[in-house]
Structure 1
Amino acid sequence: MYPMKLKLSTIVILALATSASLGAAEKLTTGTINVISTTPLPSIGLPLNIIPANIQIVNRADLKNQAGVSIVDFANNNLQGVSIQETQGNPFQPDVTFRGYSASPLGGAPQGISVFLDGVRMNEPFGDTVRWDLIPTFAIQGMQMVPGSNPVYGLNTLGGAIAIQTKSGRLNQGAALEASAGSWGRKNVSAEYGGVSKDGSVDYFFGVNYLDEDGWRKYSPTTVKQTFGKVGWQSESTKIDLSYLNVNNDLIGNGLVPQELMTGLGRDAIHTRPDQTRNSLNQITLNGSHWLNNNVMFSANTYYRRSNQKTLNGDVNDTFCPADDTGSCADPATSTKDLIDNNQAVFNSTRTRTNAFGLSAQLAFNQDIFNKKNQLIVGTGIDRSISKFGQFEQEFQSWDSTRYPSVADDVQETSTNFKGKTITSSVFATDTLSINELVHVTGGLRYNYSKVNNKDFLVGTDDYGTADAGGRHTFSRVNPSLGLTLTPNQNVSIFGSYSESNRAPTAMELACADPLNPCLLPNAMASDPPLKQVVAKTYDLGAKGNLGANFKWNASVYQAVNHNDLQFIHAGTNASMGYFDNVGKTKRQGLDLGLSAKIDKLSLTGSYGYIRAIYDDGFTLTSESNSSRVDDTVINVNKGNYLAGIPKHQFKLRAEYEVIPTWTVGANLVAFSSRYMHGNENNGHQANSAACAADGDEIPCGKGKTSGYAIVNLDTRYKVGGGWQVFAKAINIFDKDYETTGRLGMTHFDAAGSWMTDYADDYTSGSRLVSPGAPRAGWIGVRYEFGGAPEAK
């Protein structure tokens, strides 16, 4: 059998207090067997060196030392294969990409990563989106990033899974108060307290976090309020945790900005405003585990989560067509002088309310078979959710000088009133058999069944011509996995694996799948032609190991193919208007390399990633601002064209130096290559083309990529004594100008920010809309720890 259980706390400490990540500068230790759970629920765990994957592990010390505002900030700066697109322009709302797969807070993004917090899926049931602001960094004990299409992690694990564990009072005894302030008017305060009862059976942890800032771009304030508490009880054979998470956030990120506007008004300029998102969450989680005997462990959890989201967006009115226009304003087939609409602006607001609850359970058997080490886990789960979605609009006559809608011209109208119910049930099994000390075989199966029922309360057509968005849909699949690990010695592991996973279309996507009735994101629902579920098939081959006590390395190559990949197809000039459709196959092939070393007082971590993310089938897209467009409207995407928004190359280097035992200094270098812009999925847009000269009102003259970039961040922490610490962080210290994503599109505003008045050009101009990266900034803070052992080992 694999390493025996001593008591439950041993499992927790082995899983969380050791780190095999090559994405963070760690202090390497010896004499410890790294053991982690191979499912979202607590389990007996397996030695890391026999798992056929390079799992990156982050511990709380790594997060604390680099003092980022969110877990995403740390991942982008440290973890292999991770990049972000700041489409929303808010630090708590990035699109996270891992090996070419996304976990995004935005509806319409091709989701492909599952995220768990204490075994509870954090992907929102309505659209598989991930609201990163709902995960409090101060409460994180550890995190694992699992690559590939591992079916054990359930739906949406197309490219990977992120499993996060929260703090407990047993591992975080004592109190801590922390405050920091600096650039952009940012003020951040937090407090936490943990402890254990006198008899050692009960532990407790409670913490709060408050952040407020103006944002570095104009009119982009953010307020974050997070509260987390956990109470646990354990004996020698049983452990139970009850936790509560409450979040109330007000986020403004004013999205992409036209290149010309940014040039004319500065890099902190915005396009239109506001772009406000208010997220709230109440989540209760009960986790339990019990040793039935020394070799069999039962684990289970149940949860209830209520999440609400309200958005308010100041947008250009799609039906704008002034009375003085002598021809068509947009589409000659639908917009003529007979359809006069002088209103330039519109408020689009949405409300999403989701109630979700679920139950998962598993049995882990750590028992030899024919005198060979073996671990078998069998489990089941059910998740149920009800989401209610409403969308409202109100037209305004014009814009004020800050590009905020001015002078309401109509009452607010309801454009969508919709409810989606989803039930997902599953059973799974995974087994690891060590044939001998050299060969280890891992296999798994998971059956997923999903049922989606949609109901449209505005049956018929509305002002946008949408049809009934109701419907019933079912999806099911058995997903297999098989892996082989060779361990010629304790210092080297060679592995290979094949895995499959599926993603069922969500209620939001199914209700917005009609090309004849495009939706306005977040989603004004239309009729729902059937969509196919996405199936990912992944091959992974690699090796990992260490050279002595102070040097670790890993290398892997992979290929992942999505079948029936699901994408939001843009329709018309509005980048938010479109529908969901299956676009055939997409392929991601890549290479990951990582090194980690401890040289006296210097800790170094470096990684390089290459990815070839391409379409493997052809189709057409609407992109009127692409110089290679056909019939002034569409582009032909061909097999071999690169996916937008994904850099081919990335390089990360982390250095941390212990000046004296109480003072450390760290630096991160992060570099990404260029990326194709959205709207240039055919990779055909040319800068300064003849089409630009002839049709400058529609086609931007700039290139169809965002440029590569490299930035350097610094951090330091000094322990004054008596529990006091002082820390500081600086980002982009060389003040580089860069963009993380972009789109070929159009704008109604000139470089001075004024509404265009030339109706001969349809009041628009082709533009590169980009997401500018943050300039140089810095923060300083203080932390006070007292009353216990906050750094419990």
Structure 2
Amino acid sequence: MPRSTPRWRLHPLALASFMTLACGPVVAQQTEAEQVAALGETQRVEIIGVTPVPGTGIDRDQIPSNVQTTNDRRLRQLQSLNMPDFLGGQLPSVNVNEMQGNPYLMDVNFRGFSASPLLGTPQGLSVFLDGVRVNEPFGDIVNWDLIPQSALASVTMLPGSNPLFGLNTLGGALSLQTKRGDTHPGTEVELQAGSFGRVSTEVTHGQTWGDSGHLFLAASTFDEDGWRDHSPSSLRQLFAKGGQRLDNGSWDLALTHVSGSLIGNGPLPESMLAQRRDQVYTRPDRTENTMTLLSLNASLDLSQSHRLSATLYTRQSDADTLNGDLNDEYDPPDVTEAGVENRTHTRQAGQGLALQSTWTTAPHHLTVGASFDTARSRFRQTEAEGDIDDTLLIVATGEPEISAWITGRTRTTSVYLHELYALRPDVQLTFSARYNDTQVTTVDEGRIQLGLDTTLDGDARYRRLNPAAGITWQVTPQLTAYASASQGNRVPSPIELGCSDPDNACVLPNALQSDPPLKQVVSRTVEAGVRGRWEPGWQWNASVFNTTNRDDLLFISNGLAAGYFTNFGRTRRQGLELGLSQQADTFGWSVNYSYLRATFESSACIVSENNSSAGTSPRCTGEGEIEVRAGNQLPGLPRHTFKLSADWRPAEGWSLGAQWRAFSGQYVRGNENNAHRPDGDEFHGSGRLGGFAVADVTASWKIGGAFELIGKVSNLFDRRYATAGLLGENAFDSQRRLLPPDDWRAEQFDGPGAPRAVWLGVRASW
């Protein structure tokens, strides 16, 4: 398949804003962290934003959770391609599922909760870029390709059901802040190339004007052939940011524009993996995203103790998908078309405003805020029956027919508060709460305008007050203890409301039916831990956590390409995190271990036709049903995670690094009852993935002047492993020939990890 190169497409308003930033005198604001740093280094203080609106925060030692932070220097040092690449390799309690075989189409799981670009994955993490929530309105998914990696200044993971970050913060919130010209001055150009035909470029430029101005620009390109057959991808990212620091306030305006075409050819049956790991099952599987985001952040100091802050944004995105799937109605000679070509077009437009007021007067640090977010979605899907060629490409032979056409609207109004009260200089109490009022409306345009046999109209309203409380105690200047309890919620998105009937499975994201209503998910987290530091350069942490979800939203697959969303009684994620690190002049290292027990805590009957235990439970008598019981482990989540990282500077201008990560085994999707057993005849595959360990190495060498050579080897020992899997139905024999439907067999499909790869590049900085 020829590569589809994304085109640069800018909304007129976005283009005008970009020209304003590029041509006009602009200036910047100083963060609280920089203000503290300006006072001296006598006491280490790390300021963390505790609300989505940037500009205010508190000392990390006063946050009652195991918050994790890093900066752009670490991203640069590890030569991370994107957020999934970095988070999966560095942060504790994070694992990634490479179900699609594309570096930008990964599920990121933190403490058993996911932020994924794939519809059908239960979403449980909220992601913010400069205070703007980037979870897509239509399905709460996170498109990692739409986050400009080269523009990021800091990454903060705030764990728990933090109510201040609003909807979808069930297991945590990922807060990303971008660079500014005054904090990142100068010009840098980077070119990198190597395995899989990958070529990437990055150009950044930061500068200041006068005493208080800044402008930061970043542009990047990414092209590769992919390590699997027929898997080319391309990506273009543009970012611009400027602002002004006034005597009593500041503002900054940021523009992000991204356009990309990504191929993710999905998991393979284990029988095909044993022959050749780089082949594909059916194709194509292409996602084309275009997004423009314009955001404004401003703050005004009414006094030395009172600050007003605001975030205003408008965001527009278009997503087109093309999926070649097997035709579940294939039945020669009555139906001879073995494949079906599914196409979707999703257009989303969102706007929002958040206002926040903060008072800092000892012993209080009080923040009160309100926000309003609205989004409109238009979704249309077509189906066209077709044939399968020798490369397993679905070639449409019939005319495409519209099978679903809906519009949706989501409106959320929220008010929130956060109070940090110092009982004494070394003990702080934290109280916070957020009230969310969300309305989700869908209109069945297909039925109204085309007379389709669907009933997708809906109007649901969800309200919830979520509280949180915590305590921190600085036992000594080097030791902090903390404990907290919090509650968050997530409401069903339009795609989930339109795909919740087990009798009318949806080919995500390609079909919707009339469906029963869904409940909102409510999560409750308790956490306790200690953290500390001592000289020279040692840091450590230990924490335990427990999160329980009620009415969790799960996608239940029928083993082909279809399934449905449903509420599940209760699920639980509980675990332990341990971390230790040391940083010296020429050598630094860190080690992190996490234990996660993620389980169903209710009994239910769900459909999993390719599970060997289907139909064997006296309680679950429906066709293809299995019984899930309390204590069964959630699929896709390893219990044990171990990460080791080391960096060495042997000489001036040299830097060497190594990263090693190990994960224990996990159950695959479709084996939610953990009871699947292969028989070698009708059922194949264990229903589990084995544990694995992968090592990466990085190096850089300043060759003089502005130039630096960089290199990275991924999967150094060329390990063969899989990070995700499911129980499905294989329609092909060992020669990739299509079998009669009666001979299709239940088999395990695995998402293989990428083989060893080498990339080399040059970086120039002025």
The TM-score with structure 2 as length reference comes to 0.93
Counterpart of 1:200 in structure 2 is: 211
Equivalent position amino acid for 2:649 in 1: E
Counterpart of 2:605 in structure 1 is: 620
Matched, 1:503 2:513: no
Equivalent position amino acid for 2:278 in 1: D
Please give the residue correspondences for 1:744-755 in structure 2 after superposition, counting only pairs within 5 Å.
744-755=727-738
SS where residue 638 of structure 2 aligns? Answer: coil
* Deviations 1:437-486, CA, capped at 9 Å, x for gaps: 232100101000000110011228999x9631111000000000000111
Distance 1:163 1:208 in 2: 21
Please give the residue correspondences for 1:599-678 in structure 2 after superposition, counting only pairs within 5 Å.
599-630=584-615, 633-678=624-669
One of 403, 410, 420 as aligned partner of 2:398: 410
Q: Following TM superposition, by how much is the alpha carbon of 1:515 offset from its aligned partner in structure 2, in angstroms? A: 2.3
Task: Report if aligned partners of 1:100, 1:611 keep a CA contact under 8 Å in 2.
Answer: yes
SS where residue 157 of structure 1 aligns? Answer: coil
* Deviations 1:492-517, CA, capped at 9 Å, x for gaps: 11000000000011111111122232
Q: Following TM superposition, by how much is the alpha carbon of 1:423 offset from its aligned partner in structure 2, in angstroms? A: 0.3
Matched, 1:779 2:764: no
Please give the residue correspondences for 1:43-62 in structure 2 after superposition, counting only pairs within 5 Å.
43-62=55-74
Equivalent position amino acid for 1:242 in 2: L
Distance 1:535 1:783 in 2: 47
Counterpart of 1:239 in structure 2 is: 250
Counterpart of 2:44 in structure 1 is: 32
Compared with structure 1, are the counterparts of its residues 466 and 269 closer, same or farther at alpha carbon in structure 2 (3 Å cutoff)?
farther
SS where residue 273 of structure 1 aligns? Answer: coil
Task: Report if aligned partners of 2:293, 2:314 keep a CA contact under 8 Å in 1.
Answer: yes
Counterpart of 1:708 in structure 2 is: 691
One of 425, 438, 460 as aligned partner of 1:473: 460
SS where residue 355 of structure 2 aligns? Answer: strand
Counterpart of 2:5 in structure 1 is: none
Task: Report if aligned partners of 1:356, 1:384 keep a CA contact under 8 Å in 2.
Answer: yes
Q: Following TM superposition, by how much is the alpha carbon of 1:600 offset from its aligned partner in structure 2, in angstroms? A: 4.7
Matched, 1:565 2:586: no
Distance 1:8 1:316 in 2: 55
Matched, 1:221 2:232: yes
Identity, in percent, stands at 39
Please give the residue correspondences for 1:281-292 in structure 2 after superposition, counting only pairs within 5 Å.
281-292=291-302
Counterpart of 1:88 in structure 2 is: 100
Q: Following TM superposition, by how much is the alpha carbon of 1:93 offset from its aligned partner in structure 2, in angstroms? A: 0.8
Please give the residue correspondences for 1:297-376 in structure 2 after superposition, counting only pairs within 5 Å.
297-323=307-333, 340-368=334-362, 373-376=363-366
Counterpart of 1:330 in structure 2 is: none
Task: Report if aligned partners of 2:530, 2:543 keep a CA contact under 8 Å in 1.
Answer: yes
Distance 1:380 1:142 in 2: 25
Distance 1:14 1:616 in 2: 47
Task: Report if aligned partners of 1:263, 1:751 keep a CA contact under 8 Å in 2.
Answer: no
Task: Structure 2 unaligned segments of length 5 or more: list them.
Answer: 1-27, 617-622
Task: Structure 1 unaligned segments of length 5 or more: list them.
Answer: 1-6, 19-28, 324-339, 787-793
Distance 2:449 2:282 in 1: 29
Q: Following TM superposition, by how much is the alpha carbon of 1:8 offset from its aligned partner in structure 2, in angstroms? A: 5.0
Task: Report if aligned partners of 1:278, 1:311 keep a CA contact under 8 Å in 2.
Answer: yes
Matched, 1:11 2:23: no
Task: Report if aligned partners of 2:29, 2:243 keep a CA contact under 8 Å in 1.
Answer: no
Equivalent position amino acid for 1:9 in 2: Q
Distance 1:577 1:388 in 2: 21
Matched, 1:722 2:702: no
Matched, 1:484 2:484: no
Task: Report if aligned partners of 1:470, 1:528 keep a CA contact under 8 Å in 2.
Answer: no
Counterpart of 2:535 in structure 1 is: 548
Compared with structure 1, are the counterparts of its residues 15 and 773 closer, same or farther at alpha carbon in structure 2 (3 Å cutoff)?
farther
Compared with structure 1, are the counterparts of its residues 626 and 17 closer, same or farther at alpha carbon in structure 2 (3 Å cutoff)?
farther
Task: Report if aligned partners of 1:262, 1:270 keep a CA contact under 8 Å in 2.
Answer: no
Task: Report if aligned partners of 2:269, 2:750 keep a CA contact under 8 Å in 1.
Answer: yes
Counterpart of 1:399 in structure 2 is: 388
Q: Following TM superposition, by how much is the alpha carbon of 1:570 offset from its aligned partner in structure 2, in angstroms? A: 2.3
Matched, 1:378 2:368: yes
SS where residue 73 of structure 1 aligns? Answer: helix
Distance 2:504 2:31 in 1: 57
Distance 1:673 1:378 in 2: 43
One of 77, 85, 105 as aligned partner of 1:65: 77
Counterpart of 1:3 in structure 2 is: none
Counterpart of 1:329 in structure 2 is: none
One of 295, 299, 302 as aligned partner of 2:305: 295
One of 693, 703, 724 as aligned partner of 1:741: 724
Counterpart of 2:444 in structure 1 is: 456
Q: Following TM superposition, by how much is the alpha carbon of 1:30 offset from its aligned partner in structure 2, in angstroms? A: 6.8
SS where residue 89 of structure 2 aligns? Answer: helix
Task: Report if aligned partners of 1:749, 1:755 keep a CA contact under 8 Å in 2.
Answer: yes
One of 498, 514, 520 as aligned partner of 1:527: 514
Q: Following TM superposition, by how much is the alpha carbon of 1:16 offset from its aligned partner in structure 2, in angstroms? A: 11
Equivalent position amino acid for 1:388 in 2: R
* Deviations 1:267-307, CA, capped at 9 Å, x for gaps: 11110111000011011001111111111111101000100
The TM-score with structure 1 as length reference comes to 0.90
Distance 2:234 2:111 in 1: 31
Please give the residue correspondences for 1:76-225 in structure 2 after superposition, counting only pairs within 5 Å.
76-197=88-209, 199-225=210-236
Equivalent position amino acid for 1:110 in 2: P
Task: Report if aligned partners of 1:623, 1:633 keep a CA contact under 8 Å in 2.
Answer: yes
Distance 2:55 2:241 in 1: 20
Distance 2:718 2:392 in 1: 27
* Deviations 1:34-63, CA, capped at 9 Å, x for gaps: 122211112332111111011100100000
Q: Following TM superposition, by how much is the alpha carbon of 1:190 offset from its aligned partner in structure 2, in angstroms? A: 1.3
* Deviations 1:163-186, CA, capped at 9 Å, x for gaps: 000111111111111100000110
* Deviations 1:599-632, CA, capped at 9 Å, x for gaps: 4521011100000000000111211211111167
Equivalent position amino acid for 1:140 in 2: L
Counterpart of 2:3 in structure 1 is: none
Distance 2:99 2:734 in 1: 21
Q: Which moved more, 1:59-68 or 1:512-521?
A: 512-521
Compared with structure 1, are the counterparts of its residues 441 and 350 closer, same or farther at alpha carbon in structure 2 (3 Å cutoff)?
same
SS where residue 164 of structure 2 aligns? Answer: helix
Q: Which moved more, 1:32-41 or 1:91-100?
A: 32-41
Equivalent position amino acid for 1:550 in 2: G
Count of aligned pairs between the two proteins: 732
Distance 1:549 1:132 in 2: 37
Distance 1:517 1:217 in 2: 33
Equivalent position amino acid for 1:318 in 2: D
Equivalent position amino acid for 2:283 in 1: R
Task: Report if aligned partners of 2:492, 2:520 keep a CA contact under 8 Å in 1.
Answer: yes
RMSD: 1.8
Distance 2:306 2:707 in 1: 44
Distance 2:133 2:589 in 1: 33
Equivalent position amino acid for 1:65 in 2: Q
